[in-house]
């Protein structure tokens, strides 16, 4: 009887990859989070409020119409042959249309740019949500893998413990082998408890994020082939960031709004011209000095010119203020460009490093498996001791856990790279869905 039969890792992993009927893909869980996440809903409401505020800025270009109605009744107590009670009723419709108000036009232009900036802010919130869901998704998968490997290691250590006990009983090994195997078994039991709790916590976090109970992320489908990083030039990614990044769009629009604010301050020195008109209809049924009734209709059309000739240097100081704010917005844009370029380069080389680690860990996994097999054979023939086999088992399962985590980190790193250069979209999750178990 071979006491050193290969560990049933394949069976353990196949059980882990067995897909429940209610398992969800990454895109499915993102759609759920998009409809549930409070932070994203807040960002969307903020966007809608800015759109409504921008529409308010059109009011300065459109006519205004007002209606006013007044009625009065008077009574007099006099010993004269005059009316003792009389009243008046008047209604006026007035309208005004701006003909030349440069500040109003500039305010309207600022409103339009604020909508574009709000769109960029909403895109940024959407990218944050994509990354949050992906992070939580891969955290659950990594925790599941860690638990699977701990259980497999526990099975292997249990077999090694049983072997050590049998060998001690027949006198081919010392009690030290048994005690070493028992100590390693107890350690793995503790690791299993920690792994189970970690998986529980990670699943709670994912459930809270997507607004569903008992979510089951779909695992990656073997064989594991990570997608290539394209384009394979960091400068291309940085160039894309200059054109696509929502934070850079917001900073550029903030500069344009500041420039418009300077023009608004300068426009305060210019005259304004409005077209005005009114129509009044009045009726009187006598006055304090007459019995006569009267009906008067009055129509008026005119132009209203206003020109601020001197405002106590308020206009000049306002212009100086807006020029300083314009310089600040320009500097903020330059700082944002540098930050985005640095973040993009960091994320790019992080993905490259992760891909290299995956290849190295794949080689280490094969080497660790060979080392374990060799130590088992050496233990069987008496040239290795029990602790050598236990250490080789620990090294193998540690390598497997690190390899699984590294694969998830590479996939997540690709999404972080796209967020860093501003090109991340929900559709990018579909590429990851193609790597999952069908």
Domains of the chain: 9-61+114-270+312-433 (1.20.1600.10)
pLDDT at 149: 96
**In 3D, which of 281, 412, 330, 322 has the Cα closest to residue 103?**
322
Place of tokens 């008046």: 88
pTM of the predicted structure, to 2 decimals:
0.86
Q: What CA–CA distance (Å, rounded) separates 255 from 329? A: 5
pLDDT at 163: 87
Residues 6+ apart with CB under 8 A from 265: 315, 318, 319, 321, 322
Residues 6+ apart with CB under 8 A from 203: 140, 143, 214, 215
pLDDT at 9: 38
Q: What is the pLDDT along the chain (438 residues), one digit of tens a residue?
A: 333 333 333 334 344 444 445 789 999 999 999 999 999 999 999 999 999 999 999 999 999 999 999 998 877 665 555 556 778 899 999 999 999 999 999 999 999 999 999 999 999 999 999 999 999 999 999 999 999 999 999 999 999 899 889 888 888 778 888 899 999 999 999 999 999 999 999 999 999 999 999 899 999 998 888 999 999 999 999 999 988 899 999 999 999 999 999 999 999 999 999 999 999 999 887 665 666 678 889 999 999 999 989 889 999 999 999 999 999 999 999 999 999 999 999 999 999 999 999 999 999 999 999 999 999 899 888 888 888 989 999 999 999 999 999 999 999 999 999 999 999 999 999 999 999 987
pLDDT at 14: 40
Q: What CA–CA distance (Å, rounded) separates 355 from 110? A: 46
List, as one string, the DSSP characters of 388-409.
Answer: HHHHHHHHHHHHHHHHHHHHHH
In what helix (H) or strand (E) does residue 375 lie, and over which residues does it extend?
A: helix 314-381
**In 3D, which of 250, 415, 401, 223 has the Cα closest to residue 335?**
250
CB-CB contact of 390 with 188 (8 Å): no
Distance spanning both ends of the chain, measured CA to CA: 39
Residues 6+ apart with CB under 8 A from 79: none
């Amino acid at each position: 009887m071979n006491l050193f039969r290969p560990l049933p890792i394949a069976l353990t992993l196949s059980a882990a990859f067995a897909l429940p009927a209610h398992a969800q893909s990454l895109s499915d869980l993102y759609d759920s989070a998009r409809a549930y996440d409070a932070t994203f809903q807040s960002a969307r409401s903020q966007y809608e409020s800015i759109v409504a505020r921008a529409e308010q800025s059109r009011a300065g270009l459109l006519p205004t119409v007002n209606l006013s109605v007044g009625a009065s009744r008077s009574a007099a107590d006099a010993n004269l042959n005059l009316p003792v009670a009389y009243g008046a009723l008047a209604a006026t419709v007035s309208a005004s249309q701006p003909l030349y108000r440069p500040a109003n036009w500039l305010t309207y232009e600022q409103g339009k740019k604020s909508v574009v900036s709000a769109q960029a802010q909403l895109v940024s919130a959407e990218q944050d949500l994509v990354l949050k869901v992906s992070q939580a998704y891969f955290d659950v998968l990594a925790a599941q893998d860690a638990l699977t490997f701990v259980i497999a290691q526990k099975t292997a250590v249990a077999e090694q413990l049983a072997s050590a006990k049998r060998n001690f009983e027949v006198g081919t090994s010392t009690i030290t082998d048994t005690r070493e195997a028992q100590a390693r078994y107890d350690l793995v039991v503790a690791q299993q408890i920690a792994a189970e709790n970690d998986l529980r916590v990670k699943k709670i976090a994912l459930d809270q994020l997507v607004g569903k109970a008992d979510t089951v992320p779909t695992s990656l489908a073997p064989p594991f082939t990570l997608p290539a990083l394209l384009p394979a030039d960091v400068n291309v990614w940085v160039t894309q960031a200059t054109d696509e990044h929502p934070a850079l769009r917001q900073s550029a629009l903030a500069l344009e709004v500041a420039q418009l604010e300077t023009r608004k301050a300068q426009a305060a020195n210019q005259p304004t011209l409005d077209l005005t008109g009114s129509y009044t209809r009045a009726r009187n049924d006598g006055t304090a000095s007459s019995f006569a009734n009267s009906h008067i209709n009055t129509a008026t059309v005119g132009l209203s010119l206003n020109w601020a000739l001197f405002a106590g240097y308020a206009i000049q100081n306002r212009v100086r203020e807006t020029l300083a704010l314009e310089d600040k917005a320009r500097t903020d844009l330059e700082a944002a460009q540098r930050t985005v370029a640095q973040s993009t380069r960091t994320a790019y080389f992080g993905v490259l490093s992760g891909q290299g680690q995956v290849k190295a860990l794949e080689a280490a996994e094969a080497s660790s498996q060979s080392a374990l097999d060799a130590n088992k054979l050496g233990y069987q023939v008496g040239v290795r001791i029990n602790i050598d086999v236990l250490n080789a088992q620990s090294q193998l399962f540690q390598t497997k856990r690190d390899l699984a985590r590294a694969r998830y980190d590479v996939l997540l790193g690709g999404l972080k790279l796209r967020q860093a250069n501003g090109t991340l979209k929900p559709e990018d999750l579909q590429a990851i869905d193609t790597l999952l178990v069908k």
